[in-house]
Amino acid sequence: MFHLPHIPPQRLPAVLRGMPKAELHIHIEGSLEPELIFKLAQRNGVALPYASVEALRAAYAFTDLQSFLDIYYAGASVLLKEQDFFDMAWAYLEKAAAENVVHAEIFFDPQTHTARGVPMGSVIQGLHHACQRAHQEFGLSAKLILCFLRHLSEADAFATLEAALPYRHHFIGVGLDSSEMGHPPEKFERVFARCRELGLRVVAHAGEEGPPAYIWSALDVLGAERIDHGVQAVHDPVLLRRLADAQVPLTVCPLSNVKLCVFPSMAQHNLRQLLDAGLCATVNSDDPAYFGGYLNENYLQLFAALDLEPRHAYQLAFNSFEASFADEAAKRGWERQLKSYFEGLREHD
């Protein structure tokens, strides 16, 4: 790492907001703000079990992952048309650009929509057009990752993959999300093998609530190149060493972890421990409309609670580029941009 300029602690929040960064763990359906949920419900004539935006927001008091997922899937029920998917993704991408996100790898959950009769093409094309426009207007490169819902069967995942293949050029990889406990990665061994054959990049949620064993099988059975969450790895020293040695990135989501009671408070988050163990950890927002903040808010609250320093800011942004699925030239370009940003801070010393 190059020699960082001295940055007084009171300047750190502005530095966190201003630094270029990538976001690698964002569920686009989790960026649906209550206002947009109500707008789309009205536009599409969908009835919601909540009387108002305020009543919906008031229901966002989660005790664990499942209590969140129940509301998250209800919110997604207003998405019907290609335009709805575009509007949702565009709202996220405008915010991301304003937060100095220069690259985003965005999860989407097609089964949540196709199960309601929404055509796969409406989902993927709506999201894709928003990604295209973000690149044109903001220079933000945005890529899609298709997630399989792990509470459904592997046969359902295979059917979803089949339905998505006509749009293969619009997504770069596959992931695994939804209810973790009782749905180990092994359940999806064959469909992930097929995805790897197709040249898709592979990630999986593991060790959010589930045990280290799920992280081992995400790596060794699914061939995951990145682990989403992965914070339970600290309970297995051999696994920690494996993740550090192979530099398998973890996409950590601090506000999500606190809101879903994975940690009792931000001060008890283990991100510093993961960095100290030499892991390539990154900071991400997961479902920002539900967990109280977008990417910069995650950085700000994490740094305040753990007393992290400018060198951690540089490291985490650097890791976000390293951990991305962008090509080497793009990574080096963003890493140079990051270095120039920190060097530029020197002039204000």
The catalytic residue positions are 208
164 binds ligand HPA (CB under 6 A): no
23, 84, 286, 297: residue in contact with Zn ion (rule CB under 5 A): 286
Span interacting with Zn ion, options 44-52, 118-126, 284-292, 300-308, rule CB under 5 A? 284-292
Q: Least CB distance from residue 77 to ligand HPA, whole Å? A: 15
The size of the interface with ligand HPA (CB under 6 A), counted in residues, is 11
Nearer to ligand HPA (CB atom), residue 150 or residue 331? 150
Span interacting with Zn ion, options 3-11, 15-23, 211-219, 283-291, rule CB under 5 A? 283-291
Span interacting with Zn ion, options 55-63, 280-288, 305-313, 331-339, rule CB under 5 A? 280-288
231 binds ligand HPA (CB under 6 A): no
177 binds ligand HPA (CB under 6 A): yes
209 binds Zn ion (CB under 5 A): no
Q: Least CB distance from residue 187 to ligand HPA, whole Å? A: 15
Please provide residue 244's backbone torsions phi and psi, each rounded to the nearest 5 degrees: -70, -50
CA–CA distances in Å: residue 144 to residues 103, 117, 141, 290: 11, 21, 10, 21
256 binds ligand HPA (CB under 6 A): yes
Q: In angstroms, rounded to a whole number, what is the distance separating the alpha carbons of residues 61 and 67?
A: 8
Sheet of 141-149: strand order equals 21-27, 101-108, 141-149, 173-177, 201-206, 226-229, 250-252, 281-283
Count how many Cα atoms sit within 13 Å of the Cα of residue 119 in the half-sphere of its side chain: 9
Q: Least CB distance from residue 69 to ligand HPA, whole Å? A: 6
Q: How far is CA 157 from the centre of its chain?
A: 20
Q: In angstroms, rounded to a whole number, what is the distance separating the alpha carbons of residues 180 and 178?
A: 6
Nearer to ligand HPA (CB atom), residue 27 or residue 170? 27
Q: Is there a contact between 270 and 234 (Cβ–Cβ < 8 Å)?
A: yes
Q: Least CB distance from residue 242 to ligand HPA, whole Å? A: 22
Q: In angstroms, rounded to a whole number, what is the distance separating the alpha carbons of residues 167 and 331?
A: 26
65 binds, among ligand HPA, Zn ion, none (CB under 5 to 8 A by kind): ligand HPA
84, 105, 208, 297: residue in contact with ligand HPA (rule CB under 6 A): 208
178 binds ligand HPA (CB under 6 A): yes
Nearest CA to 253 among 217, 212, 294, 192?
294
Q: In angstroms, rounded to a whole number, what is the distance separating the alpha carbons of residues 202 and 145?
A: 9
Residue 107 burial (CB count, 10 A): 26
Percent composition of the chain: helix, strand, coil (DSSP 3-state, to 5): 60, 15, 30
30 binds ligand HPA (CB under 6 A): yes
Nearer to ligand HPA (CB atom), residue 66 or residue 337? 66
CA–CA distances in Å: residue 283 to residues 83, 229, 255, 272, 294: 30, 10, 10, 12, 11
Q: Least CB distance from residue 342 to ligand HPA, whole Å? A: 31
Q: Least CB distance from residue 127 to ligand HPA, whole Å? A: 15
65 binds ligand HPA (CB under 6 A): yes
Residue whose tokens read 């998917």: 85
287, 288, 302, 323: residue in contact with ligand HPA (rule CB under 6 A): 287
What is the chain's Cα-based Rg?
19
Which stretches of the chain bind ligand HPA, using CB under 6 A?
27, 30, 65, 72, 177-178, 205, 208, 256, 286-287
Q: Which residues bind Zn ion (CB under 5 A)?
A: 286
